[in-house]
Structure 1
Amino acid sequence: MSDSKSEDNATSSQKPVPKIKDISMMKAWKDSKAYREYTLFVQSLNRAVHGLKNSDSVPMSPILEKLIILLDKLDSFIDQCPPKGRSRFGDAGYRDWYAKLKQESEQLLKEALPEQFHNYIEELNAYLHDSFGNSTRLDYGTGHELAFVLFLLCLCKIEALTEQDSRAMVLKLFARYIDLCRRLQRTYYLEPAGSKGQWCLDDYQFLPFLWGSSQLTDDGPIEPKQAIDERFYRDLSNDYLYLGAIKYINEVKTGPFFEHSSTLYDISNVAQWSKVNQGMLKMYHGEVLDKFPIAQHILFGNLISFDPVPKPSGDGLFKKPASVTQSTK
């Protein structure tokens, strides 16, 4: 992604911890290296999948293929940890699944990554653990989705994943992650993290709409107004993250779409996908990155640094505008 490893890569791994203790620290978060690098990363992946379908053939490195196998194994843990019966808030069977995740994840990462990256596993493991929900609250939300993308960013910073993996990172690996998270949500009745009214698009996810709207170009197969029409999303949901998300919402919610998903309904009236995508980028900042209830749970270590961006900051971690290494929230 960059011509040389970043200075962060030279440091030893450490267990990342939360650092945004109160709302007064939000400015420091937005001025941090982590905020800049993460937003550049998200924007870069947004560009990388422009006009592409999930089913398109894209380059995949052996490490990325092994990471998909890792997610497949986490999926198989669901069969080993059956639901115990839904209570008022979620199903306690999820705690068994999460305990197995924590028990097995270090070994799974060692199997997925060459030995040269094993000294980063403690740091990587923390983001992986945080990617699938909270076992105390039995909930899942956009902060957990953010943790998974931080996990991907860490892999890029240590150069386990490279620019050549950028398209497959979204179309194959992230798509597999979303499928796993949806199965967890439905199996264990995970609650939306935070109050339901806080989530602007969907109870659980955001990035399938952001990156998914980049897949759907202005000269693509459907217009925004058709995305919420079952006649269109039913047949195209496996090819486009956005339409897969619309299909999932309609499977788990009842009633008219304009009532249970009013923001997405309003977005369907935007004339062009390029405008939808621009709006999603802005909304991701406003509704996810810049929200203290989400930011307070973000973990910081050596790879994801809370240090301020140097002034002048130059090009930061990523140098090529269209690469995975260049991204902005």
Structure 2
Amino acid sequence: MGLLSVPDFVSAANSPSPSSSSSTATSDSAMPTAVAVSARRGRTPRRKIFTEQDLAPWLRSSAYADLETTILRLTAAVEGKVNDAPCPESAPVRAVAGFLSKARGWIGRIPLAQGPQRFGNKAFRDWLAKVEEAEGPFQRSLLVKAGVNPSLAEDILPELSFHLLASFGSPQRLDYGTGHELSFVCYLVCLCRIRVFSEADEQALVTRVFKEYIDVCREVQKVFRLEPAGSKGVWGLDDHQHLVYLFGASQLTGHATLRPSSILSVAGVESLAPSYLFLSSISHIHELKCGPFHEHSPLLHQIATTVPSWTKVTKGLWDMYKVEVLGKVPVVQHCRFGEVGMRWTDTDSGEPLPSTGDGRADDEDAEDAPVLDGGPVITPAPWTRAEGTGSALGGGPVSPLTAAPRQLGASTTVSTQFSSAAHSRRQQPTTFPLAPASVRPTSFAPPPLFAPRGGAAGSTVQTRATVTSARAPPRDLATDAEGKRTVADLGGAAALSSPFGTLPAVGSGHQAERNQ
């Protein structure tokens, strides 16, 4: 099978720019270059991205170029192909897909942890430990059967283990997001670099391997309920993933009947979800979320209602991925770089790139795990006393919560400089004067998510003319009846950076006109 060509939308999406001209130069090339057997001895992959200053080296690194090339080639490989379309399946493809399927089967065998838990179930750590126990022998067997030189295999194993285990979620924070999805693609890049996978495997890497990985992560979400990592809420494309939509949109390109607007039909999505990654993701959203689709997934709803073709959807999703995932320090700071797979070297010269973390000891990356993945520091309540001390916030372990404080005005976020005696003083309750009965109470309802819809059908031109002449000067169409901005117009950075534009307000005009 010859090398796959990259379609026109890829060329347009990767036009040279000041920040990424070097990294996009390889977009139309073959898969990442094979590694020579004489590669230097590897070690545990290191963290290189710490601050915004590291983004420029990251964008011109060999790792970024290999990652971008791999994603674009996989996107092109599944254009117009359903999940069960026949394609070559090499032994490594079947092996990786089989291991992921086995890992998915272990999820149901792990007993869930009981007791109060803030977010994800702690049993996820037990499942991930079982995966970690099995992945080492599996990786070695995979490389041996693929004919990888033993010396090179020892060099690449630390990278493979890190990226595979990091792709399922954080055991410290009990969360999962686009950065973990990125880790799985890094795992595929490493295997492509040492030629475990070839160009002939590209379609199967999406429809067999990546699909199985997505199925594992969805099962993890259903059972362990991991918190979305770095979620932008409704203003993000998805709480957990992005590439599944990119590959899925490419699958739907050129479809005879399905259009982006077809995802609004729940019945149509359910029937075709097994065949397309994009539709299976929409179906998964309906399983996890309730309420109107335009409220819990406004960006996907906007794609369905404003983008005319799947080609434009694919290009837009790729542009969005480069900005919201590959270009964000909070996401890519979790990447690790080695000397064989993900390389922190200049794409053109091959020289090592600078990093703000240069000079750190080898073991400092391990110490970063609690910092990067640790949960928020929670101030203990003042009535939770340390064992053997009289201080409410002593240095020892905090005793379990037994009962709420009975003192009026006791605070749960007090500073450590106050003693427990400060919380025992009774405070006089604060009173507020009641408003006169004639004063209409003020509503404390939050601002509307969307402005009211347009006027009802049947309004006459004469009535509208009367309203227009009698009303005050029209307000901005992005305001509600009281002139307040709606939440839809305040979507924040995620909405503003969307390649599909900012979210339009649903409905327009003055309240009096809209009520006609």
Fold match (TM-score > 0.5): yes
Q: What residue in structure 1 maps to residue 196 of structure 2?
A: 160
1:266 aligns with 2:296: no
Q: What residue in structure 1 maps to residue 222 of structure 2?
A: 186
Cα deviation for residue 105 of structure 1 reads 1.2
1: CA distance, partners of 2:144 / 2:315: 38
Q: What residue in structure 1 maps to residue 326 of structure 2?
A: 289
Q: What root-mean-square deviation, in Å, do the aligned CA atoms of Structure 1 and Structure 2 show?
A: 2.1
1: CA distance, partners of 2:175 / 2:60: 29
Instruction: Tell which structure's C-alpha radius of gyration is larger.
Output: 2
2: CA distance, partners of 1:250 / 1:77: 25
Residue in structure 2 matching 1:306, options 344, 347, 356: 344
Q: Which moved more, 1:59-68 or 1:74-83?
A: 74-83
Structure 2: state its 5+ residue gaps.
Answer: 1-29, 352-516
Residue in structure 2 matching 1:276, options 302, 306, 313: 313
1:215 aligns with 2:251: yes
1:149 aligns with 2:185: yes
Instruction: Summarize deviations over 1:239-270 as a string: whole Å, max 9, x none.
Output: 00000000001110111010000000001121
TM-score when normalising by structure 1: 0.90
Moved over 6 A (4+): none
Cα deviation for residue 31 of structure 1 reads 1.4
Q: Which has the higher contact order (CA 8 A, sep 6+)?
A: 1
Residue in structure 1 matching 2:165, options 111, 129, 140: 129
> Is contact 2:112–2:123 with CA below 8 Å preserved after alignment?
yes
Cα deviation for residue 186 of structure 1 reads 1.1
2: CA distance, partners of 1:17 / 1:298: 8
Residue identity matched to 1:287: E
Residue in structure 2 matching 1:59, options 88, 94, 97: 88
2: CA distance, partners of 1:3 / 1:75: 29
1: CA distance, partners of 2:288 / 2:32: 45
2: CA distance, partners of 1:25 / 1:266: 33
Cα deviation for residue 81 of structure 1 reads 1.6
TM-score when normalising by structure 2: 0.58
1:177 partner SS: helix
Residue in structure 2 matching 1:170, options 195, 206, 218: 206
Q: What residue in structure 1 maps to residue 284 of structure 2?
A: 248
2: CA distance, partners of 1:13 / 1:153: 16
> Is contact 2:237–2:297 with CA below 8 Å preserved after alignment?
yes
Q: Which moved more, 1:7-16 or 1:104-113?
A: 7-16
1:289 partner SS: coil
Q: What residue in structure 1 maps to residue 7 of structure 2?
A: none
Q: Give 1 or 2: higher helix fraction.
A: 1
1:236 aligns with 2:266: no
> Is contact 1:33–1:309 with CA below 8 Å preserved after alignment?
yes
Cα deviation for residue 158 of structure 1 reads 0.1
1: CA distance, partners of 2:314 / 2:167: 24
Count residues with an aligned counterpart: 313
Q: How many percent of aligned residue pairs carry the same amino acid?
A: 37
